[in-house]
Structure 1
Amino acid sequence: MTATADAEAAANELTPLADYLGSVLRRLRPLPPLDLDLTQAYGNVLAEHVTSPHPVPAFDQAAIDGYAARWEDIAAAGRSGSHPAFGMHEGRVPDPRPVRLNVVGDLGAASWRPVRLTPGACFSVAAGSPLPMGADVVVPVPWTDQGMAAVEIYQAPKRGYGLRRAGEELPAGSVLARAGSYVSPALVAVFAASGIGHVVVRPSPRVVVVATGDELVEVGRASQPGQVVDANSHALTAAAVEAGALAYRLGICDDDPEGLRALLEDQTLRADLLITTGGTGTGPGDMVRRILSRRDVGRTGPVTFTDVALYPGTALGFGTVGAEEVPIICLPGDPGAALVGFEVLARPAIQLLAGAEPVFRPSVRAHLLETVSSPAGLREFRPAHVAERRGGGYTVQPLAGGPYTLSGMAEANGLLVLGERVTSAAAGSTVDVLLLDRRR
């Protein structure tokens, strides 16, 4: 049997990634909803539809500074000529024929007494002020002589210009946002303007991250033989925050069975999701898999470890911990594989717990700029840089992958996805790319 055939035979024994993700995500449920004050709701996901109890605007109002009038009183303004303010041909005698109205009062945004227009009169109004009854137009200040007791209007805008009617933007009873939507700053403003002070949301998941391994040392020094700097717990904590979680980094846990069990048991009181990194393989030092996969570990376990058709990093673990059955995800120890594992498994889990829809990142089809090869039988997620093309569409430039995935991830704004049957993708072909939420 050839090396290629051996690789394909081994890959056939792996669980397809789509099947594995489906089996994990089906076991998770969104966190119970909370009723939160509007000022605390930003960044959370709505647990139910939100409808407007009041119209926006709440009343007829001026949209600009000017003079609120009846259109029939100003319709003739400027019909026989042009005022110099609006331009005229050199040498032409101006004949603007302005309309003159009495200014019977001033209205500001804080005005509250109802007033009514009479023929031949107008009100000076500020943007946001209530509209006088009978007014159906606001004349901009530059279109007038800016008079105080009386005003001359040189040009008549169209009927309805310069004003906003009650409910024009959002009628009462309209759906402001649907369940599964993120509460953004703009949405907070819409809720507040509609008179909503509380919303029902899913809480941000509390995620605890721990790195495992006797070889790990804290950051701040270079690795020595027998030592590896813990990059994973820092990176995964940041990734969990970016995914919308309240994340806590516990740091390093040695390969001590009792210590690991006690640590995980203790964290079930503060976590909605536990994430470990390292020890998911079948080697002599892979303690996490050996400890958590046992069925005699009491309330801590068991966790099922699965060899998934995923590259980089095939070994993933999922189960529950403690009496509260807190979900736990076990990711590989290689930093690049851990970040990819987070993207394909942990991040969707966080999104599901938060009640977000959809749980997966958006993807696009992109024009591949460089030929790449991929392991047979594995679904590869390779760091890439995605760019929009002039005239529409996207291009994707592959970045460092395989054993160099970590450095590639630092530059990437997307993940190039190569399916299990793809061993080579030619430059010029069209491929799938997951879009990472990076500010570039």
Structure 2
Amino acid sequence: MSTAANRTAGPDRLWTVDEHLEDILATVRPLEPIELQLLDAQGCVLVEDITVPVSLPPFDNSSMDGYAVRVTDVAGASEEFPAVLTVIGDVAAGQAEPLHVGPGETARIMTGAPLPPGAEAVVPVEWTDGGLGGGPVTGMRARSQTPESAGGHVHVYRSAEARAHVRAKGSDVKAGDRALDAGTVLGPPQIALLAAIGRGTVRVRPRPRVVVMSTGSELVQPDEQLGDGQIYDSNSFALTAAARDAGAIAYRVGAVADDAEILRSAIDDQLVRADLLVTTGGVSVGAYDVVKEALSSVADEDEEGAGIDFRKLAMQPGKPQGFGSIGPDHIPLLALPGNPVSSYVSFELFVRPAIRALMGLDDVHRPTIRATLTTDKALTSPKGRRQFLRGTYTDGEVTPVGGAGSHLVAALALADALIVVPEDVESVEPGTEVQVVLLG
């Protein structure tokens, strides 16, 4: 439930960015853990420490195609005086009953195959004649060798130290070692490790399901013909992509017309598949700002704290915002302004941290750094507002792109950072060190 009810609220109150974010993060709770198959757990956060049940690799094995030998049998071997060994058979990966290598013997061995009893090292096939005579195997000849049958001989032209070209049992991880810590986000390398130690399922917090919905009768879907006064719906695409980038499973709902009943019905329909709802548009004070009209009176009479609170924030862009919960399960809802830049900046500041909090991550924020402002003229900022300007960051320097207008989508597409101008600063001179939020 939103903690807004515990604050001094009201239509004229100006919230700070930090207060609004604090309210969101105090409300959003991590999703309950579930057991998932490995591939279904990609992108999810572990809720348990993973201990290795079996050493990896589980046995000594060869890192090369070659011959498993005893060190004494190849001591002093050279091209002039090769060691001649009897080939007793082949050892392939997955072979259940390895051969035993005795004095004067060797076994042809494949990469990953277990080192047979009696053998102490592996000599690569390139150090031998491959059992064919005529000097060391090289080039195309090395790649064309066929498996050696038992009873033949191989000439070895170099000596080998004990354990040469042998991967030791447990050299990666040992049984009982900690493989992964709780809180780890599972990417491809982590899933590979889990599979390698025999884990088929894992307990995680699932990726949150985020439904993104844009509003406005003027919105047309891409590939459709624009009419008079119409624009293409870019916000729902941008925010859906941003939600996926944040780690969510995101669903985009086509633009909803400026009708409060239709919007409320559309939201109700989406509650069944949402852990978080995001709307864009219709949160200001205009006659057709239907999100406020549809949701400002929403309340669950049986549950304290339900409902949506619409606020003014001391920020630019993104002054109008809405936040609360909706439906019998109190699904969090963030209502963002409709201008494209306002919508995207609001997502980065408020929605992305909410998604990361639902995932159970400790660090929910984008990284922030200090950088030197490079620009031809001073930046201006409205007094009492925290301004977020788009910029490009390179090697400790940040350069503004576009202007302060909240409709400048082309400039937004070039930006990889947000330049933060504090509330008490009205002008920033070139060369000044500023706070920067990195978006990439």
Whether these two folds match at TM > 0.5 is yes
Residue matched to 2:86: 102
Q: 1:299–1:322: 8 Å Cα contact kept in structure 2?
A: no
Q: 1:210–1:275: 8 Å Cα contact kept in structure 2?
A: yes
- What CA RMSD, in Å, does the superposition of the two structures yield over aligned residues? 2.6
- SS in structure 1 opposite 2:154? strand
Match of 2:228 among 224, 228, 241: 224
Answer with 327-336 or 35-44: which moved more.
35-44
Q: CA deviation at 1:290?
A: 4.3
Structure 1 141/326 Cα, relative in aligned 2: closer, same or farther at 3 Å? same
- SS in structure 1 opposite 2:398? strand
Residue matched to 1:73: 73
- Aligned partners of 1:218 and 1:114: how far apart in 2? 65
Residue matched to 2:113: 129
Match of 1:396 among 398, 417, 422: 398
Q: CA deviation at 1:378?
A: 2.7
Match of 2:153 among 123, 147, 150: 150
Pairing 1:319–2:321 present: no
Work out the number of aligned pairs and report it: 404
Structure 1 66/297 Cα, relative in aligned 2: closer, same or farther at 3 Å? closer
Q: Which runs of 5+ in 2 are unaligned?
A: 1-11, 132-147
Structure 1 426/65 Cα, relative in aligned 2: closer, same or farther at 3 Å? farther
Q: CA deviation at 1:420?
A: 2.9
After TM superposition, list the pairs within 5 Å mapping 1:343-358 onto structure 2: 343-358=348-363
Q: 1:243–1:347: 8 Å Cα contact kept in structure 2?
A: yes
| Runs of 4+ residues over 4 Å off in structure 1 | 295-301
Q: CA deviation at 1:199?
A: 1.0
Residue matched to 2:48: 48
Q: 2:210–2:278: 8 Å Cα contact kept in structure 1?
A: yes
Q: 1:15–1:307: 8 Å Cα contact kept in structure 2?
A: yes
- Aligned partners of 2:122 and 2:384: how far apart in 1? 69
Structure 1 296/36 Cα, relative in aligned 2: closer, same or farther at 3 Å? closer
User: TM-score, normalization: structure 1?
Assistant: 0.83
Q: 1:112–1:130: 8 Å Cα contact kept in structure 2?
A: no
Residue matched to 2:379: 373
Q: CA deviation at 1:74?
A: 2.6
Residue matched to 1:117: 101
Q: Which runs of 5+ in 1 are unaligned?
A: 1-11, 84-95
User: TM-score, normalization: structure 2?
Assistant: 0.83
- Aligned partners of 2:213 and 2:15: how far apart in 1? 26
Q: CA deviation at 1:410?
A: 1.1
Which amino acid in 2 is paired with 1:165? A
Answer with 117-126 or 358-367: which moved more.
358-367
Which amino acid in 2 is paired with 1:379? R
Which amino acid in 2 is paired with 1:74? V
Which amino acid in 2 is paired with 1:161? A
Structure 1 73/432 Cα, relative in aligned 2: closer, same or farther at 3 Å? farther
Q: CA deviation at 1:209?
A: 1.6
Q: CA deviation at 1:407?
A: 1.7
Structure 1 66/204 Cα, relative in aligned 2: closer, same or farther at 3 Å? same
Q: CA deviation at 1:240?
A: 1.7
- Aligned partners of 2:210 and 2:351: how far apart in 1? 10
TM-superposition CA deviations, 1:162-201 (whole Å, max 9, x none): 1111111121222222233222222222111111111112
Residue matched to 2:340: 335
Q: CA deviation at 1:374?
A: 4.2
Structure 1 70/235 Cα, relative in aligned 2: closer, same or farther at 3 Å? same
- Aligned partners of 2:58 and 2:196: how far apart in 1? 9
After TM superposition, list the pairs within 5 Å mapping 1:14-25 onto structure 2: 14-25=14-25
Q: CA deviation at 1:72?
A: 3.5
Residue matched to 1:90: none
- SS in structure 1 opposite 2:272? coil
Structure 1 327/73 Cα, relative in aligned 2: closer, same or farther at 3 Å? same
After TM superposition, list the pairs within 5 Å mapping 1:81-92 onto structure 2: 83=79
- Aligned partners of 1:372 and 1:145: how far apart in 2? 75
Q: 1:302–1:319: 8 Å Cα contact kept in structure 2?
A: yes
Q: Percent identity among equivalent residues?
A: 40
